[in-house]
């Protein structure tokens, strides 16, 4: 299949969807997604989305983000994210997104490494609330087409200009899609790990493809471990216990049922403390106690966590649950500027696959949805302002390069892992990468 569009967006998480919604209605937009349109990590986000409450909150919001990132953040990126946050929240509300309110005013919660409450939320399903509303609006737009079960296997490039995507469907049939612009919103790489909160099909293929085409990358070894996921011996994705739980008062205990740490430390610091405690205890987990929050509050504020834990045999209103760290988020990725432009012309990257250095070496809780939305909109704005139609290319794609897709995926995986290893040895070796 050969097909043309004005703009191709690869990925249907919050970044890809919001980018498409901010592109002009007179442009034909083709969205490609690896599985179903609703199978993105964005749907899984529990905690919430940060927002600048007022000008008095700016300095502390900025400092909290920088401190959590060990001051390796780009101050300009952090400033853009914070300053744009009220605009993004208004955009979401106009699209039907609902946030928790108390007495008619927004309710704010606090999470680890935040000096004050500034996080809007929708129960413990904030990602689902936002992403589902964006997806519904995308499906209403006549200029946007979503093609599911289409895996990007390569970019089509001419020199340092991108003008399309090569993709395969579930039957391994190859399709060529040409466009004036390509926006990568392919998510993270948790599928490379045995223990991850990510969906398993998110394997960071875009990183390998970027390396192939000499597109600049940055901070590839910056991979965040989340401190608290529900411990299980089952294989597959780990269920995240939101940082908001600790923000609302949940306590961590060792095997002697002694509190051993400040639960609101930055994620990487808390992860290290938990790992050290597990080693001292000779255990694969520590205990998390939510009971102090109160039964009614738990059921109202964290209904998804409550029900999921019940399914696993734990009643969080009456007992502690075992938790353990797991791979969670990718702070590195394809290097972009403040408009999400990559080093290749006509190619943008947004969301978790991109690196605009806003998170530094460690992401502050609930900045991920905000960062994705802010820079997805900036990418759309930049494309519109500088739109340049590429003259029709005589595309030649050698299909033989993609005959053995299983081998290709294995090669991409090796390329990514080799690059992570080359970039740095900073990944916690206790979180095994899949062989």
pLDDT digits (tens, 9 = 90+) for 301-311: 999 999 999 99
In eight-state DSSP terms, residue 144 is E
What is the share, in percent, of the chain residues with pLDDT greater than 70?
96
CA distance 417 to 220: 10
The secondary structure element, H or E, covering residue 136 is: helix 126-140
> Would you tell me how many other CB atoms lie within 10 Å of the CB of residue 280?
11
Residue 349 near residue 220 (C-beta atoms within 8 A): no
**pLDDT band (50, 70, 90) for residue 434:** low
The pLDDT tens digits for 361-416 are 999 999 999 999 999 999 999 999 999 999 776 677 888 888 888 899 999 999 99
* CA 364 from centre of chain: 13
**Tokens coding 171:** 């039957």
429, pLDDT greater than 50: no
Across the beta sheet with 354-355, the strand order is 217-218, 333-335, 354-355
Q: Rounded to whole angstroms, what are the CA distances from 371 to 27, 30, 139, 239, 326?
A: 25, 23, 23, 23, 22
**Tokens coding 41:** 């990590």
**Tokens coding 8:** 């191709």
Residue that has been written with the tokens 């400092």 in this structure: 63
**pLDDT band (50, 70, 90) for residue 425:** low
Residue 317 near residue 137 (C-beta atoms within 8 A): no
pTM metric for this prediction:
0.92
Residue 333 near residue 208 (C-beta atoms within 8 A): no
For the segment(s) 225-327, the CATH number from 3.90.1150.10, 3.40.47.10, 1.10.3720.10, 3.90.700.10 is 3.90.700.10
Residue 243 near residue 111 (C-beta atoms within 8 A): yes
**Tokens coding 306:** 């409550």
75, pLDDT greater than 90: yes
**pLDDT band (50, 70, 90) for residue 426:** very low
For the chain, how many helices (H) and strands (E)? 11, 20
Residue 278 near residue 253 (C-beta atoms within 8 A): no
* CA 211 from centre of chain: 21
Residue 87, Cβ density class (10 Å: 0-12 exposed, 13-18 middle, ≥19 buried): middle
The pLDDT tens digits for 116-148 are 999 999 999 999 999 999 999 999 999 999 999
| Residue 225: closest CA among 432, 2, 16 | 432
259, pLDDT greater than 60: yes
Residue ranges per structural domain of the chain: 2-222+331-423, 225-327
Contacts of 427 (CB under 8 A, 6+ apart): 221, 223, 420, 433
**pLDDT band (50, 70, 90) for residue 430:** very low
Residues, the chain, total? 435
**pLDDT band (50, 70, 90) for residue 154:** very high
Q: Which residues pair with 288 in a beta bridge?
A: 252, 321
Residue that has been written with the tokens 């972009």 in this structure: 336
CA distance 354 to 14: 13
**pLDDT band (50, 70, 90) for residue 431:** very low
The pLDDT tens digits for 260-286 are 999 999 888 999 999 999 999 999 999
For the domain 2-222+331-423, what is the CATH code? 3.50.50.60
Compute the 3-state secondary structure of the chain and give helix, strand, coil in percent, each to the nearest 5. 35, 20, 45
**Tokens coding 80:** 């853009």
Give catalytic residues, as residue numbers: 267
């Amino acid at each position: 299949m050969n097909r043309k569009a004005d703009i191709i967006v690869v990925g249907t998480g919050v970044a890809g969807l919001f980018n498409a919604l901010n592109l002009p209605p007179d442009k034909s937009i083709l969205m490609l997604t690896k599985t179903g349109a609703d199978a993105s990590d964005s749907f899984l986000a529990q905690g919430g989305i940060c927002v600048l409450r007022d000008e008095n909150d700016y300095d502390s919001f900025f400092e909290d983000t920088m401190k959590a990132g060990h001051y390796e953040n780009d101050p300009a990126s952090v400033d853009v994210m914070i300053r744009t946050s009220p605009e993004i929240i208004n955009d979401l509300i106009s699209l039907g997104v609902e946030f928790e309110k108390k007495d008619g005013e927004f309710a704010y919660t606090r999470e680890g490494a935040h000096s004050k409450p500034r996080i809007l939320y929708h129960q413990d399903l904030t990602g689902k609330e936002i992403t589902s509303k964006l997806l519904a609006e995308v499906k209403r737009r006549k200029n946007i087409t979503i093609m599911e079960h289409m895996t990007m296997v390569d970019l089509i490039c001419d020199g340092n200009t991108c003008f399309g995507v090569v993709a395969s469907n579930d039957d391994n049939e190859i399709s060529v899609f040409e466009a004036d612009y390509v926006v990568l919103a392919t998510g993270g790489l948790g599928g490379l790990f045995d223990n991850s909160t990510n969906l398993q099909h998110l394997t960071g293929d875009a990183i390998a493809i970027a390396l192939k085409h000499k597109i600049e990358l940055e901070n590839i070894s910056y991979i965040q471990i989340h401190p608290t996921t529900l411990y299980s011996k089952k294989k597959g994705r780990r269920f995240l216990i939101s940082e908001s739980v600790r923000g609302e008062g949940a306590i961590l205990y060792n095997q002697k049922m002694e509190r051993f740490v400040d639960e609101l430390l930055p994620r990487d610091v808390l992860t290290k403390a938990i790992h050290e405690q597990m080693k001292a205890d000779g255990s694969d987990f520590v205990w998390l106690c939510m009971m102090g929050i109160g039964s009614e509050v738990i059921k109202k504020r964290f209904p998804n966590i409550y029900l999921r834990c019940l399914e696993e045999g734990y009643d969080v209103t009456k007992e502690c649950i075992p938790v353990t760290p797991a791979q969670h988020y990718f702070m590195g990725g394809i290097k972009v500027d403040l408009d999400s432009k990559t080093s290749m012309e006509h190619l943008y990257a947004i969301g978790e696959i991109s690196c605009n250095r806003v998170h530094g070496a460690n992401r502050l809780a609930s900045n991920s949805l905000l960062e994705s939305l802010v820079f997805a909109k900036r990418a759309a704005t930049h494309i519109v302002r500088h739109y340049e139609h590429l003259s029709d290319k005589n595309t030649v794609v050698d299909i033989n390069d993609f005959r053995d897709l299983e081998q290709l995926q294995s090669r991409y995986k090796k390329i990514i892992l080799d690059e992570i290893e080359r970039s740095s040895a900073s990944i916690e070796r206790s979180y095994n990468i899949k062989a």
